[in-house]
Structure 1
Amino acid sequence: MRKLIYGMNLTLDGYIAAPGDDIGWSGPPSRELFQWWLEQEKASGLSLYGRKLWETMSSYWPTGDRQPGATAAEIEFARNWRDTPKVVFSSTIDEVGWNARLVTGDAIAEITRLKAGDGAPMNIGGATLAGAAMRAGLIDEYVIAVHPVLVGAGTPFFTALDSRVDLDLLQTRTFPGGVVLSRYGTRR
């Protein structure tokens, strides 16, 4: 069975985006944090995206390695992003590119099917999609990189749950700029 990992940068008050889908609160990540995320992406065998995150990622990373001033890590991230298979879940877009396929039907059924297979871990991103997977009990690991900023409102990382989920702390690490990363595994 494949592991499903939900990880993102978030504010100290728990938001992945401020009002208006603003993600500018995080600023550019430190080299160390970007490298850490790159290693996670390279270890993933499949990326699952909700529509909004797909639109954000696909607007930059297909050509991220050709941007002026791109660092070696950004070049590697862009190439890895293009090469990694992706599944986009949306009922409002008609097509996707860059090694991705579109699922317009039951996201939970498809994620459950994908988890049942063998292979490298899968990453899931996008608050709505990840929230549905969270409520269905499909998330195996949570990775949160907490930035020292409060935005007061926006898109929360965690969704409302019907029952308690017990977690085990797997890792903590501090990065430049006061970013604290924590990894938690779901206790089964």
Structure 2
Amino acid sequence: MRKLTFGMNVSLDGYIAAPGDDIGWSVPSDDLFQWWSDRVGSTGLALYGRKLWETMSSHWPTADQQPGVTPAELEFRQRWMAMPKAVFSSTLSTSGPLGTLGAEDVNARLVTGDAVAEISRLKAEDGPPMDIGGATLAAAAMRAGLIDEFVLATAPVLVGGGTPFFTALDDWVNLELVETLTFPEGVVLTRYETRR
């Protein structure tokens, strides 16, 4: 059975984006960026919601052509392009590209059906770990009890509202802290595993 992890940069008051989808407060230090890059390099399959997909696919396929691109960004781009991706959306079309390039160029496929059923099917397979990203998609998986690990890179900022990391749940979810790392600018990364 595959392990499913939900991890994102998060404000101290629990948001992954401030009002207006502003993520300017979450620009990672070089060390944290490398941590996320290494994570992408070890992810067997990434599950993306539409909004996060649009953000990532509008930048990373052509990041190597941007002025001032760093070696770390080039490495992340290479890892991101190679990582298999499933994009969950009821509004994207298979007739057009899934991003700036065609789906085959970014190693992505579109899932338009029941997200929870597809995530459950993918988890039941043998294979490397999966990451899930995007607030709406992660919330559906969270409510269905499908997330095995939570990774929060908590920035020392209060944004006062926006898109929450955690969704409302019907039942408690007991977690076990398995790792804590501190990064420059006071970002604290915590990893929690779900106790079953």
Question: The TM-score by the shorter chain falls in which range?
Answer: over 0.9
1:4 aligns with 2:15: no
CA distance in 2, matches of 1:105, 1:117: 18
Which deviations, in whole Å up to 9, do the C-alpha atoms of 1:76-133 show, x marking residues without a partner? 1101111111000000111322211111110000000101111111010000000000
CA shift for structure 1 position 66: 2.7
What is aligned with 1:160? 168
1:119-138 aligned at under 5 Å gives the runs: 119-138=127-146
Superposition RMSD on alpha carbons, in Å?
Answer: 0.8
SS at match of 1:124: strand
SS at match of 2:93: coil
What is aligned with 2:21? 21
CA shift for structure 1 position 64: 1.6
Where does the alignment leave 5 or more consecutive residues of structure 2 unmatched? none
CA distance in 1, matches of 2:55, 2:13: 22
CA shift for structure 1 position 175: 0.2
CA distance in 1, matches of 2:19, 2:58: 20
Instruction: Among all aligned residue pairs of Structure 1 and Structure 2, give the percentage whose two residues are the same amino acid.
Output: 71
What is aligned with 1:146? 154
What is aligned with 1:105? 113
CA distance in 2, matches of 1:9, 1:29: 8
TM-score, normalisation: structure 2: 0.93
SS at match of 2:75: helix
CA shift for structure 1 position 169: 0.4
AA aligned opposite 2:167 = T
What is aligned with 1:33? 32
CA distance in 1, matches of 2:22, 2:68: 24
CA distance in 1, matches of 2:146, 2:69: 35
Where does the alignment leave 5 or more consecutive residues of structure 1 unmatched? none
What is aligned with 2:81? 82
AA aligned opposite 1:109 = A
What is aligned with 1:179? 187
Matched pairs, number: 187
What is aligned with 1:67? 66
CA shift for structure 1 position 65: 2.5
